[in-house]
Amino acid sequence: MAASSSTASEEDEWVPPSRRPELADVTPVPQDDGPHPVVAIAYRDDFREVMDYFRALYFAGERSLRALHLTAEVIDLNPGNYTVWHFRRLVLEALDANLQEEMDFVDRIAECNPKNYQIWHHKRWLAEKLGPDVANKEHEFTRKILAIDGKNYHAWSHRQRYLVITRSPLLGGLAALRDSEVDYTIEAILSNPQNESPWKYLKGLYKGENNLLMTDERISDVCLKVLKNDTACVFALSLLLDLLHIGLQPSDELRGTIETMKSSDPETQDADLATAICLILQKCDPLRINYWSWYRTTISSQI
Catalytic (active-site) positions: 115
Distance CA 63, CA 2 (A): 14
Spell out where the chain has E strands.
none
122's CB contacts (< 8 A; 6+ apart) are: 85, 88, 89, 106
Complete DSSP assignment for 58-100: HHHT--SHHHHHHHHHHHHH-TT-HHHHHHHHHHHHHHT--HH
Torsion of Cα atoms, 234 then 205 then 128 then 142, to 10° = 50
Dihedral (CA of 97, 99, 102, 104) sign: negative
Write out the H or E segment, with its range, that includes residue 231: none
The Cα–Cα gap between 89 and 94 comes to 9
DSSP H/E element including 112: helix 99-112
Amino acid at 134: V
DSSP 266-288: TTTTTS-HHHHHHHHHHHH-GGG
- Rounded to an integer, what distance in angstroms lies between the CA atom of residue 111 and that of residue 80? 14
